[in-house]
């Protein structure tokens, strides 16, 4: 199987590192330092147990250099999906498949518009990865991967799932990923914006009572929006599940935290923004997610999210002032 991974960040690097020994893999991205390091020195993969592997990977910033592939695996941020979908259209052949394992909502629809519904597929993964430096990725947390099948994609996804499992990613096929997507969205909404603002690993949110309370409320708002649409989440309590994930991935830095640290655009619109948008359509209030959107965007635009607290509704200003006083341990 030939696979083109669209995205050279943490998740793209993790999947490339694990799959390359078993298949022909080419990575496509636009991070200059990463591309140079990967092609000159290879990819250093730090496993969860501390072991390290050096993998010889291929990476390019030219879509045409990748050629045709059996699978285009999309692992970019939500704001990059339109460009990735255009690349996937060029990459997948007549029988090829484009698969998104991205965070947030709306990625499958963009992908399907580009490559056709019969060649677009959606998956959800709870694997965690952190870029330590260009060319160095740490597998920060193991989890399950689910791929949603349709009559048109079932056969090809069986092959993909078999390869993923052989690569060490526990992968299951499901008939619908809607519940899983919203389940992950709620967890992401609780963890990612707060870790981005505080610039802390996921586990810090569980250790501080102020951060933990905000994390849980953001997740519960997402769960309420899902329930209002008749979507049953794959767990009973969004708060408890988000705390569990924060603990299980305590040393991992969320993708949003990594993006903010690098001065890159964030996925806040694809995560908290989608929860807010659906909430408005359904007549549900999502004040914590709304506040987190404003604070993350302020951090991106001005470099100081705390100044934006004064512009939040009065009833939430004190809670976020307390968040700004969270003591970050060394």
Active-site residues: which are they? 184
Closest of 77, 82, 121 to residue 98, by C-alpha: 121
Which phi and psi angles does 94 have, rounded to 5°?
-60, -35
DSSP codes joined into one string, 105-172: SSHHHHHHHHH-GGGEEEEEE--EEEEEETTEEEEEE--EEEEE--TTTHHHHHHHHHHHHHTT-EEE
Order across the sheet with 170-174: list the strands.
58-60, 24-28, 2-6, 69-74, 92-100, 120-125, 144-148, 170-174
- What three-state secondary structure class fits 274? helix
Which residue matches tokens 């519940």? 179
303 burial class (0-12, 13-18, 19+ CB within 10 angstroms)?
Answer: exposed
Six token digits for residue 198: 């505080």
- Separation of alpha carbons 39 and 88, rounded Å: 22
N residues, the chain: 330
Order across the sheet with 128-133: list the strands.
52-55, 43-46, 136-141, 128-133
Give me the torsion for CA of 245, 4, 88, 256, rounded to 10°. 30
- What three-state secondary structure class fits 228? helix
Which phi and psi angles does 133 have, rounded to 5°?
-170, 165
Angle between helix axes 107-115 and 81-91 (nearest 10 degrees) is 30
């Amino acid at each position: 199987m030939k696979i083109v991974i669209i995205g050279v960040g943490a998740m793209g690097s993790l999947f490339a590192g694990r799959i390359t020994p078993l298949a022909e893999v080419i990575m496509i991205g636009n991070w200059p330092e990463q591309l140079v390091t990967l092609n000159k020195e290879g990819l250093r993969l730090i496993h969860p147990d501390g072991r390290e592997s050096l993998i010889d990977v291929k990476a390019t910033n030219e879509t045409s250099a990748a050629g045709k592939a059996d699978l285009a695996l999309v692992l970019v941020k939500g704001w990059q999906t339109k460009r990735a979908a255009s690349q996937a259209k060029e990459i997948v052949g007549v029988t090829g498949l484009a698969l998104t394992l991205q965070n947030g909502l709306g990625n499958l629809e963009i992908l399907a518009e580009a490559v056709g519904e019969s060649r677009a597929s959606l998956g959800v993964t709870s694997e965690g990865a952190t870029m330590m430096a260009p060319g160095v990725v740490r597998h920060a947390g193991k989890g399950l991967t689910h791929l949603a099948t349709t009559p048109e994609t079932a056969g090809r996804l069986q092959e993909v799932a078999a390869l993923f499992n052989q690569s060490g990613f526990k992968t299951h096929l499901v008939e619908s990923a809607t519940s899983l997507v919203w389940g992950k969205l709620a967890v992401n909404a609780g963890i990612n914006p707060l870790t981005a603002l505080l610039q802390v690993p996921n586990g810090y949110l569980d250790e501080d009572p102020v951060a933990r309370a905000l994390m849980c409320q953001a997740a519960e708002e997402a769960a309420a929006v899902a329930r209002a649409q008749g979507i049953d989440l794959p767990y009973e309590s969004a708060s408890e599940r988000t705390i569990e994930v924060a603990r299980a991935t305590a040393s991992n830095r969320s993708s949003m935290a990594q993006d903010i640290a690098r001065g890159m655009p964030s996925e806040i619109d694809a995560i908290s923004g989608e929860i807010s948008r659906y909430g408005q359509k359904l007549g549900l209030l999502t004040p914590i997610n709304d506040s987190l959107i404003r604070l993350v965007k302020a951090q991106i635009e001005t470099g100081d999210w705390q100044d934006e607290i004064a512009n939040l509704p009065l009833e939430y200003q004190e809670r976020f002032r307390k968040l700004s006083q969270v003591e970050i341990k060394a």
